[in-house]
Amino acid sequence: MSRSRPKVIRCAACEKRIPDHEPDLVLQDLDGGLPRFFHTRCGGAAYAAAAEKPGGHLLTVRHVEEMAN
């Protein structure tokens, strides 16, 4: 096991990595399950997943913070 491995977020729809600099959609299961992440371009899948359980999910868009540079 690698100790200093950065946490990689993968899209639940296409299973590709979501880079840190991209905004993403977070589908939080209100029953306490693990949140699922989606590319904004895979948002259709996120909305479909949310529609499976109306009121049971919280879908939020996480914007990338401006980095001081």
CB within 8 Å of 56: residues ≥ 6 apart = 29, 30, 31
The continuous run of DSSP H or E covering 46 comes out as helix 43-51
Stretch that binds Zn ion, among 4-12, 22-30, 49-57, 58-66 (CB under 5 A): 4-12
In the region spanning residues 17 to 46, those forming contacts with Zn ion, defined by CB under 5 A, are 39, 42
**Distance of alpha carbon 64 from alpha carbon 51, whole angstroms:** 25
| Residue 9 or 13 having the CB closest to Zn ion | 13
Closest CB to Zn ion: residue number: 11
Residues 6+ positions from 44 with CB-CB distance below 8 Å: none
Q: Which of 11, 25, 46, 49 contacts Zn ion by CB under 5 A? A: 11
Q: Site residues (CB under 5 A) for Zn ion?
A: 11, 13-14, 39, 42
